[in-house]
Amino acid sequence: MFCLTMGGGGQRRGWEYWWVVLRFSFLLCLGEQVSAQIRYSIPEEVKEGSVVGNVFKDLGLDVSTLVERRFRIVSGSKDALFQVNQNNGVLYVQKKIDREELCDGNSACLIDLKMVVENPLEIHYVGVEITDVNDNSPSFPEIAKGLDISESTHAGSHFQLPAARDLDSGMNSIRLYKLSQNANFELEVRDRGDEKVPFLVLQKTLDREQKCEHRLLLTAIDGGNPPRSANLNLTVTVLDINDNRPVFSQEVYTVTLEENGSINTVVIQVKAIDLDEGVNGDVEYTLGRDLNRKVYEVFHLDGVTGEIRVKGEVDFESTEVYRLDVQASDKGQPPMTVSCRVIIKITDVNDNKPDIEVTSLSNLVPEDAKPGTVVSLISVTDKDSGINGKVLCSLSDTVPFELKPSYQDNMYSLVTKQRLDRELVSHYDITITATDCGQPPLSTFKTLSVQISDVNDNSPEFSQTPLQLYLLENNAPGASIFSVSATDKDLNENAAISYHIVRGEGTQNDMASFLNINSDNGDISGLKTFDFESLKMFQFQSCSYRLWNSVSKHQRHSERVHSGSERQRSSDLVSSQH
């Protein structure tokens, strides 16, 4: 594999080995069906037309066959971010890529491309990892934040500040916070899972009579080079009374929830205790204001009980983990607030049917195809995960085809398992069944139509052989004597028949030289007048053969002819042959 890197003030292309090319060869019965998988790495925001890699060459394919084999991408990203040059096999960027938009902030951003070449049909998988560049600055949910802190608040008290968000990931995400220099506060940063949360720590007790308001500046800095930053203006108003704040029983609550949970299901209940009495000890709960919008759509927090309930659709395939900030505030004057983190992990249930994709080599299979001939490639996917996403494929037992599994899970080739005979069955409707391993299992059905094409595997046949008939003497030369007819079970050009008479060596007794046959319809005529007193019986051979065979297959039949004075009988026989 290779990676494309960007640096400096412009674009520069440097190829370096990023990962060893993984290449698999798999022999599918009698045909060679080769699948390979390679991976490239490029940074986001590269210009359109930037080269990712020469896929055709990296797959070890003959470049001289590139155009003939119709190398192309058959599936990948929905917006067609990549394209393959049909002349040289180079994979290039077709559309500018925004990693944050494409992968929605996921740490790994991998685009899987499925590519096909023909003659023979092969499917290859190419993975393109989109690496992050520091193209987004941190941002706070608001430009200013006000805090009310009682003058009776003890030194060492912590106040959670809004966390900045950065769409970039890894080293380019937020790395540190800084607080402007002051005499009363310092900054503490805590790690909560995958996020850094800033806290304002009171170092020195406040005195409202000396200073009733403090103005601070909080700066969030990411780890890019050069780094980017964002500022939040903090205003601390010094107030009185209510000297105890609520305390949650846990700093972080973690719970699991099955997807498709019914509306109003209780997910978890948070609990905060305030040691004050009366209204100063009454606690009410609220969700943080800078959470992902999906949180507000899916969950509801009861402000009195602290219960978090299901409000909307819970879909594992959409979101696997929800992170909620819950604040608990008392009703004192001024109110005191504390927060905790609630992590809700969604578990998968078997709610998606498998999907069957058929890549057909041809829907026309010759009847002389050997057992093991590949007809189609079948790939199966399931949006569920784990055992719910594992899929088994099968065919109906009544067809002469079978599925052969590939080295890759949920990939099969449809092959013939026995000899075919078009004259017996000329068409098959093959039903493919894909069933996942969930409980209960879900199934999908897809029907593939296969037409059996004719080959020249049947010889012509005369309706009767040998044929014995009687002729009247004194026939007119050139007049039709009788006709022969043959049939062939094959179709079209394979069933086209031509007739001829097998000639001898031209001896006196070779009567075939006095006969002529119409090669198109088998009509036989005499070239001389036959005389009963001179010749009472003779025999000859006629032959039928296929017109379009490169190697003729002859089926010879003797025709024995009697001439005589049995006028009425011979007349009946001859008329029956015409």
Note the pLDDT of residue 321.
92
Q: Look-up: residue for tokens 């819950």?
A: 326
pLDDT score of 21 more than 50: no
Confidence of residue 306 (pLDDT cuts 50, 70, 90): very high
Closest CA to 421 of 394, 458, 386, 396: 458
The Cα 349–Cα 145 span in angstroms is 42
For residues 26 and 120, the answer to whether their CB atoms sit within 8 Å is no
Confidence of residue 3 (pLDDT cuts 50, 70, 90): very low
Average pLDDT estimate for 340-344: 94
Distances (CA, A) of 83 to 88, 90, 211: 12, 8, 65
Note the pLDDT of residue 175.
87
Q: Helix/strand/coil (H, E, C) string of 166-235?
A: CCCCHHHCEEEEEECCCCCEEEEEEEECCEEEEEEEECCCCCCCCCCEEEEEEEEEECCCCCCEEEEEEE
pLDDT score of 578 more than 80: no
Look at residue 328 and give its three-state secondary structure.
Answer: strand
Residue 258: partners with Cβ closer than 8 Å, 6 or more residues away: 314, 346, 347, 349
The Cα 73–Cα 36 span in angstroms is 14
Note the pLDDT of residue 337.
92
Predicted confidence (pLDDT) per residue in 484-540, tens digit: 877 777 677 776 778 887 776 655 456 777 788 887 777 888 888 888 878 778 777
- Share the mean pLDDT of the chain: 79
> Which segment of 100-114, 144-158, 414-428, 542-556 scores lowest on mean pLDDT?
542-556
Average pLDDT estimate for 199-213: 90
Note the pLDDT of residue 334.
82
Average pLDDT estimate for 415-444: 86
- The more confidently predicted of residues 137 and 564 is 137
Note the pLDDT of residue 542.
65
Query: What secondary structure does DSSP assign to 244-307, as a single string?
Result: ---EES-SEEEEEEETTPPTT-EEEE--EE--S-GGGG-EEEEE-TTS-HHHHHHEEE-TTT-E
> Which segment of 158-167, 384-393, 534-543, 562-571 scores lowest on mean pLDDT?
562-571
Q: For 357, phi and psi rounded to 5 degrees?
A: -120, 125
Predicted confidence (pLDDT) per residue in 211-226, tens digit: 889 999 999 998 888 8
Q: In this structure, what token pair is assigned to residue 423?
A: 């004259």
Highest-confidence range of 33-42, 219-228, 544-553, by mean pLDDT? 219-228
Query: What secondary structure does DSSP assign to 411-450, as a single string?
Result: EEEEEE-S---TTT--EEEEEEEEEESSSS--EEEEEEEE
pLDDT score of 544 more than 90: no
pLDDT score of 352 more than 70: yes
Average pLDDT estimate for 248-255: 95
User: The pTM is what?
Assistant: 0.47
pLDDT score of 433 more than 70: yes
pLDDT score of 473 more than 90: no
Confidence of residue 159 (pLDDT cuts 50, 70, 90): very high
> Which segment of 8-17, 179-188, 427-436 scores lowest on mean pLDDT?
8-17
Note the pLDDT of residue 46.
87
> Which segment of 59-68, 217-226, 268-277 scores lowest on mean pLDDT?
59-68
